[in-house]
Amino acid sequence: DVKVTQSSRYLVKRTGEKVFLECVQDMDHENMFWYRQDPGLGLRLIYFSYDVKMKEKGDIPEGYSVSREKKERFSLILESASTNQTSMYLCASSGLQLPLGSYEQYFGPGTRLTVT
C-alpha cells in the first residue's frame, strides 16, 4: 500500500518566516510533486522532481523552492512566507509506468498552512 506522508496537517506561521514542508513516500517512486489547492482554483503545480537532485518548475513556482536530496523525500520551502501563501499544500508521488504518462499519482493528506 503506497503511503505518502506529510510532516504536518496544520501549520501556522508568521509573515516573513521561512517555512519547510516535508513529504516522504515509501514506494521508491521516481516522481514527486508539490501542489497547492485553493477553492475554485483546483490543484496547481508548484514544483516537481523526476529524480534525486532534479527539479522542474510547475505553474506557480514564485515564492517557493524545493529540495530533493533523497529519493523518498521532497521538501517545499517558502523562503519568506506571505499571507497569499495561506493554502492547502499537497504532495504526490508516482512511479514510471508504460505507456509514459499513464501513471497514477498518490497523494499525501495535505498540510493546511496559515500565514498571519
Q: Which is nearer to other proteins, 33 or 74 (CB)?
A: 33
Contact flags string 60-79 toward other proteins, x per CB under 8 A: --------------------
Say if residue 99 is preceded by a cis peptide, omega within 30 of 0. Answer: yes
Task: Work out which of 50, 63, 71, 112 binds other proteins, going by CB under 8 A.
Answer: 50
Which part of the chain contacts other proteins (CB under 8 A), choosing from 10-18, 68-76, 77-85, 98-106?
98-106
Residues 6+ apart with CB under 8 A from 104: 94, 97
Burial of 86 (0-12, 13-18, 19+ CB in 10 A): middle
In the list 10, 42, 69, 84, the residue contacting other proteins (rule: CB under 8 A) is 42
Considering the complex, state which of residue 13 and residue 44 has its C-beta at the smaller distance from other proteins: 44
Decide: 78 and 67 in contact? Cβ < 8 Å. no
